[in-house]
Chains A and B, each alone.
Chain A
Amino acid sequence: MHLEAIQLNKHFPTRNGSPIVALKDINLHVEGGEFVCAVGASGSGKSTLLRLIAGLDRPTSGEVRVDGVRVTGPGADRGMVFQNYSLYPWMTVMENVAFGLKLRGMAAQQQQQAAAYYLEVVGLTKFAKSLPKELSGGMKQRVAIARALASQPKILLMDEPFGALDVQTKEIMQQFLLEVWRRTQTSIFMITHDVEEAVFLAQRIYVLTAHPGTVQREILIDLPSERDYHIKRQPRFQDHKEEIMDLLRGREAVVLA
């Protein structure tokens, strides 16, 4: 798997004529099995970036390529997890997870098998027959992740997936996501405004700054890939965090001046 964004630009038209430049000359790449985060403040166009990669919006110029093929629309090769879970409320947990396979026309029995496997991966086997409304936020997000993984995408795109969760649940979910990533060896590209979350999860981070959204720096995270929350106290973790915070702050200071 090789995903790349080449000279991506996205403008949004406004009423008074001059368009808003949401993204300017974005270049980035994600390789097979990598966990990459893009971190930035609101207004840095991170969600727009993810939508362009997913094919849900079209860039004003530039292109996204997955294994050399130009992205012209959404597809099952790029699974998506939204912040607000977006589960199908009338389907059981099991049916939610199997839905991508059903859309593809897989036989019912195989659907069941695959969905059961991914429910096991996210630890929700016991809740297979529950409705989404009966689950907590963290559990809903696990279902959304299992559903995306069940379609066996080349890459998993995540839009602030833990942004709506409380701090404790968030920490558990981050640990959980790392385990899922190791187990499934799926490539993950995640956007977040939470610097600590990005450093904890990613092997590589793109720091985005706002107005217009640009990649300010690419940072290689020099931490072992086996991580748990204790790592957050290590000096090297703190250094990475400080570095990124400074980048984000510095840019903000310029804008305000």
Chain B
Amino acid sequence: MTSIEPLPIPNKGGDRTYQMLPPTVFWRIAEGIPRRLVLILVALSIFVPLLLWWMVSTSGVVQPAYLLPTPGQVLGSLQRLWTEGILPADIAYSLFRVLSGFLLAAIVSIPVGLLMGSFASIQALLEPIIGIVRYMPAPAFIPLLILYFGLGELPKILLIFIGTLFFNTLMIMDAVKFVPKELIETTYTLGGRRPQILTQVIFPHILPSIIDACRVNMAASWNLVIVAELVAANEGLGKRISLAQRFLRTDEIFAGLIVIGLIGLAIDLLFRLLLKLSCRWAR
């Protein structure tokens, strides 16, 4: 019989050096950072690109100069477009289209997603076709939409509807899968019927996810309205940009882009606010 030899460890415990995790503030993983640091970094994130833009555009590196307007020129054309009433009208048109298309998509996708997530039968029925259609880029439908519905508001609204509907449906469907099974079963044992489970348990449980899915897909809608207007429109922010291109007015293109970005951000923040106000229980 051989006895078990102890492992030949040269320095047990004692004089061996152990490395400790070095402290850090900036590189803490999955932890918060001090509020002051947050503010500094946020400011950097906005002002560094602005500063770079200002420096490059005033340095004269870019020739001919009209290709890159200065921040001042862009601000000037923003003011002009606003006071001439062109910008408010464009914003109104773009917002109207996006909201109509998106609202339509939400009205359809919320119940359909809820049903698909709740019933494996409905999922099996609808998921294959949605899975295919959603990979067809919405802008590819523009020629068809124009052929079918002309150049009015309907094809633009439908484009946004198509572009938002499928992703929103699938995201809502996925959210239903996170409703704890026990919560549904508890409701059965309280005498709940299936329609009641859908409307009074699953729907309120996934409401935060629905709002969040809408927030994410609203970004897609906002992108699509600009695409639709670039192709065929008489007004709107997309149209403004494509007109400006024709007259080499890069300052107006920049102004349009900035407005598009700011409105998108505002919509995003509104959804976040809605989420915070309506679902206090979730956080």
Do A and B share a complex? yes
Q: How far is the CA of A144 from the CA of B190 in the complex (A)?
A: 11
Q: Is A103 an interface residue (CB 8 A)?
A: yes
Q: Which of A80, A84, A102, A104 contacts B189 (CB 8 A)?
A: A80
Question: Which A76-133 residues sit within 8 Å CB-CB of chain B?
Answer: 76, 78-80, 82, 84, 86, 88-90, 99-100, 102-104, 131, 133
Q: Is A148 an interface residue (CB 8 A)?
A: yes
Decide if B281 touches A76 in the complex (CB within 8 Å). Answer: no
Q: Is B144 an interface residue (CB 8 A)?
A: no
Q: Is A147 an interface residue (CB 8 A)?
A: yes
Tell me the count of chain A residues lying within 8 A, CB to CB, of chain B: 29
**Residues of chain B within 8 A of A75, CB atoms compared:** 188-189, 191
Q: Is A214 an interface residue (CB 8 A)?
A: no
Decide if B205 touches A76 in the complex (CB within 8 Å). Answer: no
Q: How far is the CA of A212 from the CA of B239 in the complex (A)?
A: 73
**Residues of chain B within 8 A of A220, CB atoms compared:** none
Q: Is B192 an interface residue (CB 8 A)?
A: yes
Q: Is B31 an interface residue (CB 8 A)?
A: no
Q: Is B200 an interface residue (CB 8 A)?
A: yes
Known: A84-B182, A103-B200, A133-B281. A90 touches B188 (CB 8 A): no
CB proximity of B201 to chain A, nearest CB, Å:
7
Tell me the count of chain B residues lying within 8 A, CB to CB, of chain A: 22
Q: Is A137 an interface residue (CB 8 A)?
A: no
Q: Is B186 an interface residue (CB 8 A)?
A: yes
Residue in chain B with minimal CB distance to A56:
B185
- Ordered by A's residue number, 28 sampled pairs between the chains whose C-beta atoms are within 8 Å are A55-B188, A56-B185, A74-B185, A74-B188, A74-B189, A75-B188, A75-B191, A76-B189, A76-B190, A78-B189, A79-B190, A80-B189, A82-B182, A82-B186, A86-B180, A86-B185, A88-B183, A89-B205, A90-B205, A90-B207, A100-B191, A102-B200, A103-B200, A104-B191, A133-B281, A148-B189, A151-B191, A157-B189
Q: How far is the CA of A78 from the CA of B182 in the complex (A)?
A: 15
**Residues of chain B within 8 A of A90, CB atoms compared:** 204-205, 207, 279, 281-282
Known: A90-B204, A131-B281. A79 touches B189 (CB 8 A): yes
CB proximity of A145 to chain B, nearest CB, Å:
12
Q: Is A202 an interface residue (CB 8 A)?
A: no
Q: How far is the CA of A131 from the CA of B205 in the complex (A)?
A: 14
* Chain A residues proximal to chain B, CB less than 8 Å: 54-56, 73-76, 78-80, 82, 84, 86, 88-90, 99-100, 102-104, 131, 133, 144, 147-148, 151, 153, 157
CB proximity of A98 to chain B, nearest CB, Å:
10
Chain B interface main SS type:
helix
Q: Is B187 an interface residue (CB 8 A)?
A: yes
CB proximity of B283 to chain A, nearest CB, Å:
9
**Residues of chain B within 8 A of A148, CB atoms compared:** 189-190
Which of B180, B182, B200, B282 has its CB near the most chain A CB atoms (within 10 A)?
Answer: B182
Residue in chain A with minimal CB distance to B280:
A131
Decide if B190 touches A100 in the complex (CB within 8 Å). Answer: yes
Q: How far is the CA of A103 from the CA of B281 in the complex (A)?
A: 21
Q: How far is the CA of A79 from the CA of B282 in the complex (A)?
A: 27
Decide if B191 touches A80 in the complex (CB within 8 Å). Answer: no
Q: Is B245 an interface residue (CB 8 A)?
A: no
Q: Is B58 an interface residue (CB 8 A)?
A: no
Decide if B183 touches A86 in the complex (CB within 8 Å). Answer: yes
Decide if A103 touches B185 in the complex (CB within 8 Å). Answer: no
Question: Which B197-214 residues sit within 8 Å CB-CB of chain A?
Answer: 200-201, 204-205, 207
Q: Is B79 an interface residue (CB 8 A)?
A: no
Decide if B201 touches A80 in the complex (CB within 8 Å). Answer: no
**Residues of chain A within 8 A of B204, CB atoms compared:** 88, 90
Decide if A103 touches B189 in the complex (CB within 8 Å). Answer: no
Q: Which of B180, B190, B193 contacts A151 (CB 8 A)?
A: B190
Q: How far is the CA of A171 from the CA of B205 in the complex (A)?
A: 33
**Residues of chain A within 8 A of B190, CB atoms compared:** 76, 79, 99-100, 103, 147-148, 151
**Residues of chain B within 8 A of A104, CB atoms compared:** 191
Question: Which B228-283 residues sit within 8 Å CB-CB of chain A?
Answer: 279-282
Residue in chain A with minimal CB distance to B193:
A103
Q: How far is the CA of A73 from the CA of B192 in the complex (A)?
A: 12
Q: How far is the CA of A75 from the CA of B189 in the complex (A)?
A: 5
Residue in chain A with minimal CB distance to B283:
A133
**Residues of chain B within 8 A of A89, CB atoms compared:** 205, 281-282
Q: How far is the CA of A214 from the CA of B182 in the complex (A)?
A: 25
Residue in chain B with minimal CB distance to A102:
B200
Q: How far is the CA of A159 from the CA of B38 in the complex (A)?
A: 47
Residue in chain A with minimal CB distance to B279:
A90
